[in-house]
Amino acid sequence: MGVLLHHTVDGLEEGPVLVLAGSLGSTLEMWEPNVPALGRRLRVVRIDQRGHGRSPAPPGPYTIAELADDFLTTLDSLGLRDVAWCGLSMGAMIGMHIASEHPGRISALTLCATSARFEPAPWRQRIADVEEHGLGPLAPRIVGRWFTPAWAAAHPVAVARAREWVGDTTQPGYLGCCEAIATWDHVDRLDAIRAPTLVLAGEADPVAPAEPHAQLLRSAIDGARLETLPASHLLNIEAAEQVNRLVVDHVLDAVQGPGSSS
């Protein structure tokens, strides 16, 4: 039994349900550039990861499987069984896990800026840095990789807000999730994913570069399609218009049949 997570529900009351699962150090606010457009065609459920935003922070370390249980517990509490999923980075890892291990729960999968496996060493270093300095002082460096320099220079308010998400994340929650990422290796389970899958990569993302990460997902997940967008890691913000269009089309085509998005 997982933890019941803080969530919001917006959008079209009778529309297909889309779950949005965010990245390490963010809150469900990261999807604000997406909710109005997605919500015109879909019911949009946003969920804060454990230890992030307004969700509880049980003691760590965590695994991606435990984080996935939190989401399933929360969806059960809403009476939702079969949902479309759009996750970014860690939120996409959770989506991959649910899609392969609980295949009846995900009808369409969008994987943004993510990987089936990250090198553990940088995550061990991140854990040591956070333990030594705390999250507040590290927030500018962490968020510095989330947006391209040009976009960040043009959007100082959004960048400042993103730094606040990181600084406000509970330290046990953040560290527990770093452990989950450091120990995550789903490469051998990708062939169990049956949901129609759209992979989105940021062409300037230093965290999960398309080559090798998104390319591996595209080749290992049966029928997966890859789109590369002009953005860094938080591509849902930096390339919001393209992401909104691609996700709506993908979900409606998967849930209601090809061509139903037009």
Ligand X SMILES: O=C(O)CC1=CCC(=O)O1
Q: Which residues are near ligand X by CB under 6 A?
A: 23-25, 89-90, 142, 145, 181, 207, 233
Taking the least distance from each CB to ligand X, the nearer of 27 and 107 is 27
Question: Residue 47 CB, nearest distance to ligand X (Å)?
Answer: 14
Burial of 61 (0-12, 13-18, 19+ CB in 10 A): middle
Instruction: For ligand X, give the closer residue by CB, 107 or 114.
Output: 114
**Which of 57, 58, 2, 49 minimizes the C-alpha distance to 26?**
49
CB of 193 to ligand X, least distance (A): 19
Distance CA 250, CA 225 (A): 10
Virtual torsion, Cα 145, 151, 152, 158, nearest 10 deg: -110
Structure-block tokens of residue 35: 């909710």
Of 127 and 207, CB closest to ligand X = 207
For residue 16, the SS3 value is coil
What is the 3 state secondary structure string of 116-131?
A: CECCHHHHHHHHHHHH
Closer residue to ligand X, CB minimum distance, 25 or 39? 25
Q: How far is 17 from 151, CA to CA, in rounded Å?
A: 31
CB of 30 to ligand X, least distance (A): 10
- 12 vs 216, beta carbon nearer ligand X: 216
CB of 89 to ligand X, least distance (A): 3
Q: Per DSSP, what are the bridge partners of residue 85?
A: 19, 109
Q: How far is the CB of 22 from ligand X (least distance, A)?
A: 8
Minimum separation from the CB atom of position 176 to ligand X (A): 13
If one counts every other C-beta atom within 10 angstroms of the C-beta of residue 203, the result is 14
Query: 83 vs 90, which CB is nearer to ligand X?
Result: 90
